[in-house]
Amino acid sequence: MKNSLLFFVLLCMISAISAQETPTPNYRQAAKYSPENLAKMVHSTVVNPHWLKKGNRFWYAYKTSNGSNHYLVDLDKKSKNELFDNIKMAKWLTEITKDPYDATHLPRFDFKFNEAENAIRFRVKSTEEVEFVDEKEDVENDSISTKSEKTKKPKMEKKTYYLEYILGSNGLKIINTKKEEKKPWEKWANIAPDSSIVLYSKQFNLYWMDKINFKKFIENEKDSTVVENQWTKDGEENYGYGGDSREDNVDKDKNKDKRKGVWGTWSHDSKKFVFEKSDARHIKDLWVINSTGKKRPTLETYKYHMPGEQEYYKSELLIFDIPTKTHAKVALDTVRQQSLTVFRAPRKQSDRDDDFTPSLLLSKKGKIYFSVISRDRKKLDINVADINTGEYRTLIEERFNTYIESAPLILFNNETEMLHWAERDGWAHFYLYDADGNLKNQVTEGDYHVAGFEGLDEKSRTLYFTANGVHKDQDPYYAHTYKINLKGSGLKTLDPGDFTTTSSMSDSNQYFVNNFSRVNTTPKSEVRDTNGKLILDLETADLSQLFASGYQFPEPFKVKADDGITDIYGVMYKPFDMDSTKVYPLLEYVYPGPQTEAVNKSFSYRMDRLDRMAQVGFVVITLGNRGGHPDRSKWYHNYGYGNLRDYGLADKKYVAQQLANKHAFIDIEKVGIYGHSGGGFMSTAAMLVYPDFFKAAVSSAGNHDNRVYNSWWSETHHGVKEEIDEKGKISHKYDIDYNQSLAKNLKGHLMLIHGDMDNNVHPAGTIRMAEQLIKAHKRFKFMIMPGQRHGFGDMTEYSFWLRADHFSKYLLGKEATDVDILYMNMDEPMNK
């Protein structure tokens, strides 16, 4: 009896141990969901409307597993029709190009409607090769041809057909067989709205051409009769009129005399050009070295302002008068450290496909509306200047003890009224002002966040906008479209439902396209009118192949922050072949914000960092944290102000513990963390602040030392203190915790990755982290991605498998030791 009891206890122990077994890494399952494979399973998920100028019409393309279809929607007629018959289009293209097409395998079209909007035009390349003809080649070059040149094999190119399809017709018209001309001048030519003059930069000075000479230049760039005119002579490098760019030492020397862009804002009548001239001569240099791009390694030098440095960019606002070729200056205080923004006229939805879309001032009446924000971002002024004299006055002031967010000013009612967006009561709302800066009333009000302006019906005085958190029974991150009277009454939801939405409103403010989904629903698209009435159902995404592969939706969750009060929202991603008898390590994918949070709210098939990582054998979560996304209260958003390293870590730890208490399949003793950029910074900080909790991390492109990161992000979200001494001299004090100061705390397994050409988050931050880990006698992994910027480009897939290897070894107990990354090789054809 005793032996039987012992045997039973032993069996129970064995069963318990078995129940706690860690899964084996499933690289095959992860490889199945590579970006390349996903592109074969998931196609369109949203309707992206191209609004037309006549009527309430738009066209869109939508791709499913049966190919692409193109539709024309006429909302005045409540109709949706195919733009053309795919079968007929395939027939016509085959007959013209002599290349075979069928209805499900048409070329990718780049449509442009004609001016009458009754026909579309597009180009198609055939496989037929024809002799290359350079119509701009100098005639004299042809006359000097030698015998050897005559017998030289001609240069060949694919034949291009420029075609027109008149809607409803029974065929295609060949306009010509010329390939689309390259327009290198588009990179530098700033053309006036009436096309009368073109502005550009040469050797840091402002130049111009009139319409006649610019046309001659387009026809023949080598035309020696083209007249160029120099306007300014005081421009120099880092204090010029455009032309500054990040080039390496070789390209900089090669391109020093070339034309470059000068970007600014035009008056509507083309007689004025407003330009912000920035003095960066005193800003210190930063460098990255390109070791792989050219024969010799090259040096890229650029200006980079770091937090706490006393120097700052000095901005001037210049007004160039086109007829007189003179300029005036807005009388700004250039001693105070501040940043400028010139408000521009919003672009119509129907201008999206236009070839020519000049940047225009907000006002049509000779006024320049602009904002000035102090370096510490606690003082914001909305100003208006006279376009002729440069004299200005302040209309609206915002003051706050943390940083101030801003949005474009909205001018309407013949420029007698303004809508201003502000967070002055702790939530983002619109305020109605008259043109003199007198507050008339607050338009939106309540404990919700107004995210953006969608449209304004001036006749009915109705504002259309998007907002978060209006519906208290929903995830506060879910965005919806609303309307409200400018008096602040009649708030109405226009796209109801327990989803997050994105909208595109017609220029007429009568209709909007609504795309909606959650992370665990199939995306759908529809059209509603601005009373909220459903007009047309457009599309439901085709996820059939994705589900056939074994895909399962992730699971949203809501728990508490470390204070036990604040709601934290996240998403859980599981292995699709999850085994109920096993427990799974937990991985947190993090990005701390504060300008956003790395938590998907709508369905996304870009799952490289989430769904795919889970397939290796982990439960992966993404979650918010106090101090994260701005789409909640300003309190939530600004929670990390003054503590930019540690502010989100307690929430990341406590959420993991809550989920493990709730779900027996989570192994709380094996928690890993990973992220990129700010997420790289946060994941390493988590390993050092909670070294007994987080056991492994992969931190890529992290700003571990924010003292060497850009001043905008650090000084905005962490804070910089403005101090004035007894003589009135202003200085700026900046102090922040940095990861390498805690290097001695490392207990778990850390991998650092960085691109050596990263000119956003400089590699110095990661190198300093590595230096202190070495001095603290710690083992860790360190990988440089050669030639890569802040994103890893064509090495992104490689970085995924580095991450999979790291977590597989240290959390699943299985190390990949093959030299080849097998599942990368399987996706790529081997060259003979």
pLDDT at 16: 46
pLDDT at 131: 85
Give φ, ψ of 398 to 5 degrees. Answer: -125, 135
What single string gives the DSSP state of each residue in 597-653? -S---S--S--TTTHHHHHTT-EEEEE--TT--TTS-HHHHTTTTT-TTTTTHHHHH
What single string gives the DSSP state of each residue in 40-107? HH----S---EE-SSSSEEEEEEEETTEEEEEEEETTTTEEEESS-HHHHHHHHHHHHSS--BTTBPP
Can you give the residue ranges of every domain in the chain?
Answer: 25-41+546-827, 50-140+153-182, 189-402, 407-542
Task: Say yes or no to pLDDT of 401 above 60.
Answer: yes
Q: Which of 228, 236, 233, 225 is nearest to 208 (CA)?
A: 228
Work out the pLDDT band at 17, boundaries 50, 70, 90: very low
Are 61 and 643 in contact by the 8 Å Cβ rule? The answer is: no
Q: What is the dihedral of CA 539, 542, 543, 549, to 10 degrees?
A: 180
pLDDT at 182: 83
Would you identify the CATH topology of the domain 407-542?
A: Methylamine Dehydrogenase; Chain H (2.130.10)
pLDDT at 138: 47
Radius of gyration of the chain (CA): 30
pLDDT at 252: 85
User: Lowest-confidence range among 253-262, 390-399, 667-676?
Assistant: 253-262
pLDDT at 137: 54
Work out the pLDDT band at 725, boundaries 50, 70, 90: confident
pLDDT at 819: 86
713 or 505: which leads in pLDDT: 505
pLDDT at 410: 98
Task: Say yes or no to pLDDT of 11 above 50.
Answer: no
Task: Say yes or no to pLDDT of 7 above 70.
Answer: no
Q: How far apart are CA 723 and CA 729, in angstroms?
A: 8
**pLDDT over 70 percentage in the chain:** 95
Please give the average per-residue pLDDT across 699-713, as a whole number. Answer: 93
Q: Give bridge partners of residue 433 from the DSSP assignment.
A: 418, 439
For 25-41+546-827, which CATH superfamily applies?
A: Alpha/Beta hydrolase fold, catalytic domain (3.40.50.1820)
Please give the average per-residue pLDDT across 171-193, as a whole number. Answer: 91
User: Lowest-confidence range among 145-159, 275-289, 555-569?
Assistant: 145-159
Q: How far apart are CA 396 and CA 459, in angstroms?
A: 25
User: Lowest-confidence range among 127-131, 178-182, 810-814?
Assistant: 178-182
User: Lowest-confidence range among 290-299, 754-763, 781-790, 823-832?
Assistant: 823-832
Question: What is the SS3 assignment for 700-764?
Answer: ECCCCCHHHCCHHHHHHHCCCEEEECCCCCEEEECCCCCHHHHHHHCCCEEEEEEECCCCCCCCH
pLDDT at 183: 87
Task: Say yes or no to pLDDT of 696 above 60.
Answer: yes
Are 373 and 403 in contact by the 8 Å Cβ rule? The answer is: no
Work out the pLDDT band at 144, boundaries 50, 70, 90: very low
- The owner of tokens 């702790």 is 426
Please give the average per-residue pLDDT across 95-113, as a whole number. Answer: 94
HSE-CB at 559 with a 13 A cutoff on CA atoms is 26
Q: Give bridge partners of residue 536 from the DSSP assignment.
A: 527
Enter the tokens of residue 614: 């889970």
Task: Say yes or no to pLDDT of 242 above 80.
Answer: yes
pLDDT at 451: 96
What single string gives the DSSP state of each residue in 322-359? TTTTEEEE----SSS-EEEEE-BPPPPGGGTT-S----
Mean pLDDT estimate for the chain: 92
Work out the pLDDT band at 150, boundaries 50, 70, 90: low
DSSP 248: B
Task: Say yes or no to pLDDT of 250 above 90.
Answer: no
Enter the tokens of residue 291: 């070791």
List, in order, residues 6 or more apart from 224 with CB less than 8 Å away: none
**Which class in CATH covers the domain with range 189-402?**
mainly beta
Enter the tokens of residue 231: 């306007």
Work out the pLDDT band at 828, boundaries 50, 70, 90: low
State pLDDT tens for residues 575-624: 999 999 999 999 999 998 888 888 999 998 877 779 999 999 999 999 99
Enter the tokens of residue 538: 């457009």
Among 124-133, 151-160, 544-553, top mean pLDDT goes to: 544-553
Task: Say yes or no to pLDDT of 136 above 50.
Answer: yes
Q: How far apart are CA 515 and CA 333, in angstroms?
A: 46
pLDDT at 178: 87
Alpha-carbon distances, residue 119 vs 110, 114, 172 (angstroms): 13, 6, 10
HSE-CB at 604 with a 13 A cutoff on CA atoms is 16
State pLDDT tens for residues 643-694: 988 899 999 999 999 999 999 999 999 999 999 999 999 999 999 999 999 9
**pLDDT over 90 percentage in the chain:** 80
pLDDT at 54: 95
Work out the pLDDT band at 143, boundaries 50, 70, 90: very low
Please give the average per-residue pLDDT across 634-639, as a whole number. Answer: 95
**For residue 679, what is the enclosing H or E element?**
helix 678-689
List, in order, residues 6 or more apart from 621 with CB less than 8 Å away: 557, 570, 571, 572, 573, 586, 587, 588, 589, 655, 656, 659
Task: Say yes or no to pLDDT of 97 above 80.
Answer: yes
pLDDT at 548: 95
Q: How far apart are CA 83 and CA 61, in angstroms?
A: 9
Are 223 and 216 in contact by the 8 Å Cβ rule? The answer is: yes
Are 626 and 566 in contact by the 8 Å Cβ rule? The answer is: yes
